[in-house]
Structure 1
Amino acid sequence: MFDGMERRIVSLWFPRLASDRALRARPADGPFALTLAQDNADRLHCLNPQAEAAGLYRGMTLADARAFCPGLQSRPADPVGDRRFLQMLRRWATRYCPWVGLEGEDGLVLDITGAAHLFGGEAMMLADMRHRLGRAGIALRIGLADTRGAAWALAHYHEGQAAPGQTLAALARLPVAALRLEERTVIPLQRLGLRTVGDLAGAARAPLARRFGPGLLLRLDQALGRQPEEVSPLADPPHYGVRLTLPEPVGLTADVMAGTARLLDRLCATLAAQQAGARVLQLTLRRVDRDSRQVELRLARPLRDPARILPLFQRAVAEVDAGFGIDQMRLAAMVVESLPARQLSHVGSRRGDRLADLITRIGTRIGLENIRRFLPADSHIPERAFLVAPAAFSEPGTGWASPRPRPLLLFPPEPVTGRESRPPRQFRWRGETLATARATGPERIAPEWWLEDEGWRSGLRDYWLVETRQGRRLWLFFTPQRPGWFVQGEFA
């Protein structure tokens, strides 16, 4: 690509990426650190300069850190948010060159070959990087060399530049750890007297290869340019947003729906190419007075079928105040989930789709979280044998695994007369006198001793299915420890 041109690589290292990001969102004065739970203890993960000046270091337990520095402020770390932030920095760095890749969890690598002259030379380019990131409050160390390994070494161990063709001279005095070696390799090398890159480069290669394997010499050769090491730029994540600018303002619901249909066709094609489906869609309608109206559609399951999605917009679009007209429309998938292609079957697939569409239609009026379903739970206690979950964010259960039938209606235990271990022949319940026709049981259920439950402090329960002469089918239980009968449910 750049024949006859010296390759130049820039390594950007953000030594305090996590804490810099956290302090950008919520500034704090004085010593500050982010913590992560490791080995049953909260340990310091990333520190600001004041915390490092106080003698604190990464990996130190939070309890010890507070003993050394009582004024330390801390927050839990967010590794996922840090990775997203690094991805944002990667996209920002493409302003300097198109070849930008990630370097671990806290760095970037840029292949600026043939691009430095656009900024007035390498020195001006690096100065611009420092200025912009420093103004954003992000600590930065930069290395520039002919190879990726040498640039990384300079950024981490001796910030600076290596002139073209002078890589070994720039690295000679750096420790061998600058070659991105593991600690288990670095310590034996130091014991052999090979403490710097220059020492290692001048040593006999055959004994080193026998003792440490090919990995050591590969890292050395990569840093010195004897072995190639590519910079692989990451592809930008797919953008799930489409826009439509109208030649004339529209205000009728039918016209807006027609524009939405065109946007949906384009958006769903993008979703299909990525094998994804939308869970939340946002339609933004810009009026001619530059004010905007937004319509949000939350779906019960991931979808990318325009024919099924479009009617779900109808009600919300009809309620939009178009003002003097709408001249621009934008549709974006705000939440996207994986939706791989699957074999369709006439058995049950259409029924499941109709149920999801019904949940979505009702959810647009009362909220998806308010449509719930019962799911089986892993407990033999009747009150704990089910969960209530939003139907849009859960799958139907396979049914309750119980050796005996359970009543359709379950309620808190209600006492009835009777103290014998057999179901009473006659009892009063809710003001009605009932006579037992047939009783099936008992089914003994023991309390879950590892959980505190006030209702089960009486101990064991013997459950009976009691069919009365009056037609009621009740679920009664007897408590042997404190003799007594209770009704807890009614069968259909």
Structure 2
Amino acid sequence: MFDGMQRRVASMWFPRLASDRALRLRPVDGAFVLTLKQNNANRIYCLNAQAEQQGLHQGMAFSDARAFCPEVKSRPANLNGDAQFLHVLRRWATRYCPWVGLEGKDGLVLDITGAAHLFGGEAIMLSDMRQRLSRAGLSARIGLADTRGAAWALAHYGEGLAKPGRGLEALGGLPIMALRLEEKTAVALQRLGLRTVADLAGTPRAPLTRRFGPDLMMRLDQALGHQAEQITPLAEPPHYGVRMTLPDPIGLYDDVMAGTARLLATLCAKLKAQETGARRLCLTLRRVDQEAQVVELRLARPLRDPDRILPLFERGVANVDAGFGIDQMRLEATQVETLPAHQVSAVTTCRKDQLEDLISRLGTRIGLENIQRFLPADSHIPERSFIIAPAAYSEPEGSWVALRPRPLRLFPPEPIAGMDTRPPRNFRWRRMALSTARATGPERITPEWWLEDDNWRSGVRDYWKVDTRQGRRLWLYYTPQRPGWFVHGEFA
């Protein structure tokens, strides 16, 4: 890439990336750790400097940590949040050079060849990196050398700057683990008396290759520059936004919808090329007075069909105040999800699409979270045999399995008079006098002892399906432990 120029690589290591990110969001004083459940035990995943000073370390059981340091504060780790934060840091690091890649889950690697002079030299560049990261509340260790392996070794075990062409001189005194070896290989080398990189470099290669395989010498050659190691920068994520600048301002509803249709066709083509669909769209209409009107659309399912999306904008566009006219339109998919291409057959039905479009239309009025559906749950307790979930973020899957029919309506148990173990012949319920015509049962349901539920503290229940002469079909139960009758539901 840079012919005739010495390659230079910088490695950034964030030893406390997770805890630093958590403390940036909610600062605390004193010892702090993040915990992660591993092998049925809560263990320390990451910790700050104060916790290390108290004798805590990564991988330590959290119960032991509380014994060592009772005042330690903790939070659960968020691995997805840490990964996203590392991507944010990668994008920030492109201010120093365009070639920035990830180094594991807590580091970055930068190919700064030909870029250091823009900052006044390598030492000044590294100093600028440290100062900016320190101001952001991040602990970082940085190494710079001719190769990726040497820069990684300096960041993790030396933290410094290796002069060009003097890799072995800078790495010679570092421990053997600085070559990114497996722990068992490093332990075996130390037992042979090879404790530093210089020891390994001065040992005949053939016996070591026969015993440990070619990977050992490959890591040494990569660190010393005898074998190339590429840096692959991450591609920038696709941007799903389109814009249109109008020569003359518009303000009529039909004109705005026509412009939206043109933007939507271009945006959906981008989404199709990436096999993604939009879940949230934002239409920004800039007026000639520089004020902006925003129409946001949230969809029940990821979509990239302009003919289905365009009608959903009608209500929002109709409420836009165009003022003296709109001279710029911008449409952006602010939230996207994968939507792979699927085979279309002659028996494909559009009923599901119609339901999703209806949910989206209603969601623009009352909010997608307020449109809910019932889903089956794995429990024999009537109140727990279902869950309520937003229809836009769930699929209608599964089915209710019951040996006996269940009522469509359930309500909190309502007591009625009756002391016998069979349903009462005559009883009053909700100010109505009812008499039993036919009773089917009993069906005994026992409580789930492993869950806390005050409504089931009375013990087992014997359920009966009761058809009354007045036309009511009720679901009654009797509690043997505390004799009493209750109405729990009503059949259709």
Normalising by structure 1, report the TM-score: 0.89
1:105-156 alpha-carbon deviations (Å, 9 max, x no partner): 2221122334445545544544443454445444433322221111111222
Is contact 2:45–2:77 with CA below 8 Å preserved after alignment? no
Q: Is 1:305 the counterpart of 2:313 in the alignment? A: no
Structure 1 distance, partners of 2:13, 2:30, is 22
Q: 1:207 to 1:375 in 2, by over 3 A?
A: same
Structure 2 distance, partners of 1:430, 1:82, is 56
Aligned to 1:276: 276
Q: 1:345 to 1:375 in 2, by over 3 A?
A: farther
Is 409-418 or 367-376 further displaced after alignment? 409-418
Aligned to 2:48: 47
Structure 2 distance, partners of 1:262, 1:156, is 53
Is 294-303 or 465-474 further displaced after alignment? 465-474
Is contact 1:12–1:108 with CA below 8 Å preserved after alignment? yes
Q: 1:396 to 1:112 in 2, by over 3 A?
A: same
Q: Is 1:35 the counterpart of 2:40 in the alignment? A: no
Aligned to 1:286: 286
Structure 2 distance, partners of 1:348, 1:311, is 22
Aligned to 2:295: 295
Q: CA deviation at 1:276?
A: 1.5
1:457-472 matches, within 5 Å, as 457-472=457-472
Structure 1 distance, partners of 2:360, 2:354, is 10
Structure 2 distance, partners of 1:62, 1:418, is 55
Structure 1 distance, partners of 2:453, 2:141, is 58
Is 72-81 or 246-255 further displaced after alignment? 72-81
Is contact 2:30–2:51 with CA below 8 Å preserved after alignment? yes
Aligned to 2:400: 400
Q: 1:205 to 1:286 in 2, by over 3 A?
A: same
Q: 1:399 to 1:157 in 2, by over 3 A?
A: closer
1:299-378 matches, within 5 Å, as 299-345=299-345, 349-378=349-378
Q: 1:135 to 1:3 in 2, by over 3 A?
A: same
Aligned to 1:231: 231
Is 229-238 or 445-454 further displaced after alignment? 445-454
Structure 2 distance, partners of 1:16, 1:265, is 45
Q: CA deviation at 1:312?
A: 0.9
1:40-439 matches, within 5 Å, as 40-41=41-42, 43=44, 45-48=46-49, 57-59=57-59, 75-345=75-345, 349-439=349-439
Structure 2 distance, partners of 1:16, 1:60, is 16
1:227-270 alpha-carbon deviations (Å, 9 max, x no partner): 22111111112222222222233222222222222222222222
Q: CA deviation at 1:478?
A: 3.2
Is 134-143 or 243-252 further displaced after alignment? 134-143
Structure 1 distance, partners of 2:343, 2:98, is 40
Is contact 1:47–1:57 with CA below 8 Å preserved after alignment? no
Unaligned runs of 5+ in 1: none
User: Structure 1: which amino acid aligns with 2:295?
Assistant: V
Structure 2 distance, partners of 1:382, 1:353, is 32
Is 16-25 or 221-230 further displaced after alignment? 16-25
Q: CA deviation at 1:356?
A: 1.0
User: Structure 2: which amino acid aligns with 1:89?
Assistant: L
Structure 1 distance, partners of 2:14, 2:290, is 40
Q: 1:322 to 1:194 in 2, by over 3 A?
A: same
Q: Give 3-state SS (helix, strand or coil) of 1:161's partner.
A: coil
Structure 2 distance, partners of 1:396, 1:346, is 23
Is contact 1:35–1:62 with CA below 8 Å preserved after alignment? no
Q: Give 3-state SS (helix, strand or coil) of 1:290's partner.
A: coil
Q: 1:363 to 1:3 in 2, by over 3 A?
A: same
1:5-44 matches, within 5 Å, as 5-26=5-26, 31-39=30-38, 40-41=41-42, 43=44
Q: Give 3-state SS (helix, strand or coil) of 2:201's partner.
A: helix
User: Structure 1: which amino acid aligns with 2:112?
Assistant: I
Q: Give 3-state SS (helix, strand or coil) of 1:45's partner.
A: strand
Is 199-208 or 106-115 further displaced after alignment? 106-115
Q: Give 3-state SS (helix, strand or coil) of 1:43's partner.
A: strand
Aligned residues: 490
User: Structure 2: which amino acid aligns with 1:33?
Assistant: F
Q: CA deviation at 1:308?
A: 0.9
Q: 1:311 to 1:423 in 2, by over 3 A?
A: same
Q: CA deviation at 1:172?
A: 1.4
Is 89-98 or 57-66 further displaced after alignment? 57-66
User: Structure 2: which amino acid aligns with 1:448?
Assistant: E
User: Structure 2: which amino acid aligns with 1:271?
Assistant: L
User: Structure 2: which amino acid aligns with 1:213?
Assistant: G
Q: Give 3-state SS (helix, strand or coil) of 2:331's partner.
A: strand
Aligned to 2:479: 479
Q: Give 3-state SS (helix, strand or coil) of 1:434's partner.
A: strand
Q: CA RMSD in A?
A: 2.8
Is 219-228 or 466-475 further displaced after alignment? 466-475
Q: 1:412 to 1:169 in 2, by over 3 A?
A: closer
Structure 2 distance, partners of 1:122, 1:420, is 91
Structure 1 distance, partners of 2:457, 2:52, is 54
Q: 1:44 to 1:380 in 2, by over 3 A?
A: closer
Q: 1:46 to 1:326 in 2, by over 3 A?
A: farther
Q: 1:462 to 1:32 in 2, by over 3 A?
A: closer
Q: 1:200 to 1:57 in 2, by over 3 A?
A: same
Unaligned runs of 5+ in 2: none
Structure 2 distance, partners of 1:209, 1:279, is 54
Structure 2 distance, partners of 1:413, 1:420, is 18
Q: 1:474 to 1:280 in 2, by over 3 A?
A: same
Q: 1:324 to 1:189 in 2, by over 3 A?
A: same
Q: Give 3-state SS (helix, strand or coil) of 1:89's partner.
A: helix
% identical aligned pairs:
70
Q: Give 3-state SS (helix, strand or coil) of 1:301's partner.
A: strand
Is contact 2:407–2:489 with CA below 8 Å preserved after alignment? yes
Is contact 1:13–1:142 with CA below 8 Å preserved after alignment? yes
1:81-101 alpha-carbon deviations (Å, 9 max, x no partner): 232222122122223333211
Is 285-294 or 50-59 further displaced after alignment? 50-59
User: Structure 2: which amino acid aligns with 1:185?
Assistant: T
